[in-house]
Amino acid sequence: MSCATPIPFETLVALWTGELTADEADRIEEHVFGCASCAEVYAGLGDLTTALGEVIPIVVSHRHRDRLAASGMRLRSTPVAAGVDARATYAADVDLLIHVLAVDVGEVDRVDLDVMIDGDHKLELAHVPFDATRGEVLIACQRHYEHMSSDDPTFVVHGVKAGQRRELGRYRVIHTWR
């Protein structure tokens, strides 16, 4: 399965991100139909980018939350204040829990969020979506998270302004899974 003129991976990525002209895209897809090795990468990227478009990340934007609700997902929102344990129940009639972290974001360039479990940093997320006007960061909690840890997570929100990182709050949600 060799190809005399393989399409560079970067070019196939550009195809899937819509950054090529219609003529370029057409020329590449015509090549792909006659080339097994390029077709394999092309199809693999198709599956991957399609799946990425359907991912529900840990932190979702308000627009994404609204899109999920509009698609028919049953969401349950839990308000969460800094320093106060909140409780959320994953009942059978819920498809996705949304933890609404109340954050006084102020004027920041970006918001970062750390997920901590058992006191350890499990995940560091940079440039997460937030709504400064509403003072909210939205955590999307999926049902399969139940089996990821025996402990409940703590979310640590940071604001970054002019390169200076400042903790804005710690939020803990205690989950009941049903």
Partner 1 sequence: VGADDEQQLCVTYAARIRAYGLRHLRDATAAQDLVQAVLMAVLQAVRANRIEDPSRLDHYVFGTCRNTVMDMRRGDARQRKIAETAKAVVPEGYIPSFAGVDRIRLEGCLAGLEARARTIVLATFLEGRDAGEIGAELELSAGNVRVIRHRALAQLQSCVEGGPS
Q: Which residues bind partner 1 (CB under 8 A)?
A: 9-10, 13-17, 19, 26, 29-30, 32-34, 36, 39-40, 42-55, 57, 61, 64, 110, 112, 123-127, 144
Query: Of the two residues 36 and 81, which places its CB atom closer to partner 1 in the complex?
Result: 36
Shortest separation between residue 75's beta carbon and partner 1, angstroms: 17
Cα 82 from chain centroid (whole Å): 22
Query: Of the two residues 30 and 104, which places its CB atom closer to partner 1 in the complex?
Result: 30
Instruction: Tell me the three state secondary structure of residue 67.
Output: helix
Judging by DSSP bridges, how do beta strands 59-60 and 136-141 pair with one another? Answer: antiparallel
Shortest separation between residue 84's beta carbon and partner 1, angstroms: 27
Let me know: does 40 contact 75? Beta carbons within 8 Å: no
Query: Of the two residues 99 and 158, which places its CB atom closer to partner 1 in the complex?
Result: 158
CA distance 167 to 110: 12
